[in-house]
């Protein structure tokens, strides 16, 4: 059965990369459409996501779905191989809780801490570290948040595994250190070392250059355009 | 059969989301009222991350975050389904539930607005959010769930009840038949659903409470400026 699967994304967006990773983990073939989210969003994107006008959008047999975590749940339900959610309803609830924690609290705190002006930095860093500490606890010595294999929470935490380290390098401010958060730090290595994950991450040097440019000039926060 | 407990707060729309879902599914549960100014040891133990209500405890295992709880209830007690079975329709339901989360800051801005240009902008922004909801999520349906309510309706329960009192506290009407005819009708329809009608907080108490909460937030924000 031939199915049409398309992903509208942006090369640097952790949110659109989440969707690509999930599809790749399940061996789903898809066509990728790169959107110029800062300067020139395509008419198709605006048609498929009129409410938020953002990437990622998944198009399955002509039907569009927006919001990365909603898309991940849809992918999980539609393509059954290599499940990314536990079967047990309680464990599933825990996974959803942590994915939500990442989006509602953790990622905004990390982003804020990365780009805070000097006078707000201390408080922002404190909040970000609280979040990282919570995640360290949630990992609880496991190899992945999903246990033995990559799951929904690992995919949702992709920003921490790849983008965060690059932002740290660009800004010179460290948040996630091996000393302070040993398990989480080790997790970032485990995660990016998976071959399928590696293939689905944006190139490090391109991202670093992007963030350095952002520091040099004034730009809108990418999260607004690229979620 | 494991026991079910709900730690909630009488004035919280999030607490009511869980109550409505449990009632619709006919699940027996013990309700524990939390004093938010003096949270119980149990609550802090069950929700160490946010320290908030609602928390559902099923067979001794706690779940926090109302939307996560709703999904858990849907899966654990499949009778009277509250989500579509078709994966695409389910995704659409989840999208609209998430829309409320994305626009919570717009609601908050309106809630704490005190006057002048700021308030006018906050009102306009919030009206726009409601228009999108009315137009694209509700359309011409009786409920977001179609002929009967589902998790989307439950998620937007705050509009049906709490918002009316909020408008009275602020002194500005936004959700009216002239500006939002279909959404206004949805409010009426939603409040007539027996499970909803029989499970709402006391109106006078709510009005007084919202006044106090709003005052507190406004004062706190002025201190932070």
Give the model confidence (pLDDT) of B78-132 as tens digits.
999 999 999 999 999 999 999 999 999 999 999 999 999 999 999 999 999 999 9
What phi and psi values does residue B8 have, to the nearest 5 degrees?
Answer: -140, -175
CA A90 to CA A92: how far, in whole Å? 5
Where does the pLDDT of residue A214 fall: very low under 50, low under 70, confident under 90, or very high at 90 and above? confident
Averaged pLDDT for residues A133-156: 96
Nearest CB neighbour to B72, from listed A69, A89, A104: A89
Bridge-based pairing of strands A31-34 and B61-64 is unpaired
Nearest residue in B to A71, CA atom: B91
What pLDDT does A222 receive?
Answer: 52
Q: Which residue of B has its CA nearest to A77?
A: B87
What order do you get walking across the sheet with B30-33 strand by strand? B30-33, B4-8, B55-58, B61-64
Burial (CB count <10 Å: 0-12, 13-18, 19+), residue A14: buried
Beta pairing partners, B33: B8
B37, A54 contact by CB (below 8 A):
no
Query: What CA–CA distance (Å, rounded) separates A151 from A156?
Result: 9
Report CB contact under 8 Å: B90, A74. yes
Q: What is the phi/psi pair of residue B65, to 5°?
A: 80, 110
How many contacts, defined by CB atoms under 8 Å, are there between A and B? 60
Smallest CA–CA distance, residue A204 to chain B, in Å, is 30
Cβ burial of A190 (10 Å; 0-12, 13-18, 19+) is: middle
Set of chain A residues whose Cβ sits within 8 Å of the Cβ of B91: 65, 70-71, 73-74
Give the Cα separation of A189 and B95 in Å (integer): 32
Whole-number Å distance between alpha carbons of A171 and A38: 22
The whole-model pTM stands at 0.95
Contact present, B95 and A66 (Cβ < 8 Å)? yes
In angstroms, how far is the first alpha carbon of chain A from the final one? 31
> A109 and A127 in contact (C-beta within 8 Å)?
yes
Residues of chain B short of pLDDT 70, as ranges, are 1-2, 225
DSSP annotation of A162 reads I
DSSP label at residue B178: T
Percent of chain B surpassing pLDDT 70 = 99
């Amino acid at each position: 059965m031939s199915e049409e699967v398309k992903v509208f994304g942006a090369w640097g967006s952790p949110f659109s990369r989440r969707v690509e990773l999930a599809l790749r983990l399940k061996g789903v073939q898809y066509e990728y459409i790169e959107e110029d989210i800062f300067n020139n969003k395509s008419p198709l994107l605006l048609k498929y996501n009129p409410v938020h006008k953002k990437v990622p959008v998944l198009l399955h047999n002509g039907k569009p779905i927006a919001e990365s975590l909603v898309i991940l749940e849809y992918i999980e339900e539609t393509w059954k191989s290599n499940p990314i959610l536990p079967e047990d309803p309680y464990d599933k609830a825990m996974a959803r809780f942590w994915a939500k924690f990442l989006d509602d609290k953790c990622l905004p705190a990390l982003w804020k801490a990365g780009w805070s002006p000097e006078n707000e930095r201390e408080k922002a860093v404190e909040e970000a570290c609280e979040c990282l500490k919570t995640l360290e606890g949630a990992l609880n010595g496991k190899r992945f948040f999903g246990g033995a294999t990559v799951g929904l929470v690992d995919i949702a935490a992709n920003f921490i595994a790849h983008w965060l380290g690059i932002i740290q390098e660009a800004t010179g401010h460290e948040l996630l250190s091996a000393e302070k958060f040993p398990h989480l730090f080790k997790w970032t290595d485990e995660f990016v070392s998976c071959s399928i994950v590696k293939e689905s991450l944006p190139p490090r040097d391109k991202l670093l250059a992007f963030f350095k440019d952002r520091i040099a000039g004034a730009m809108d926060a990418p999260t607004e355009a690229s979620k | 059969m494991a026991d079910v407990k709900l730690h909630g707060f009488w004035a919280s729309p999030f607490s009511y989301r869980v109550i409505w879902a449990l009632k619709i599914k006919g699940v027996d549960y013990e309700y524990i009222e939390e004093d938010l100014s003096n949270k119980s040891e149990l609550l802090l133990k069950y929700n160490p991350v946010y320290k908030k209500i609602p928390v559902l405890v099923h067979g001794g295992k706690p779940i926090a975050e109302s939307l996560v709880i709703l999904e858990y209830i849907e899966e654990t007690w499949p009778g009277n389904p509250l989500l579509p079975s078709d994966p695409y329709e389910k995704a659409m339901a989840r999208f609209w539930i998430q829309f409320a989360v994305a626009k919570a800051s717009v609601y908050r801005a309106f809630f704490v607005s005190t006057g002048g240009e700021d308030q006018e902008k906050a009102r306009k922004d919030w009206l726009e959010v409601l228009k999108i909801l009315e137009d694209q999520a509700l359309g011409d349906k009786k409920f977001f769930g179609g002929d009967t309510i589902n998790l989307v309706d439950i998620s937007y329960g705050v509009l049906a009840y709490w918002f009316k009192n909020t408008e009275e506290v602020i002194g500005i009407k936004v959700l009216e038949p002239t500006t939002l005819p279909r959404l206004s009708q949805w409010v009426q329809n939603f409040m007539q659903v027996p499970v909803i009608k029989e499970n709402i907080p006391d109106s006078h108490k709510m009005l007084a409470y919202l006044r106090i909460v709003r005052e507190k937030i406004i004062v706190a924000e002025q201190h932070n400026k």
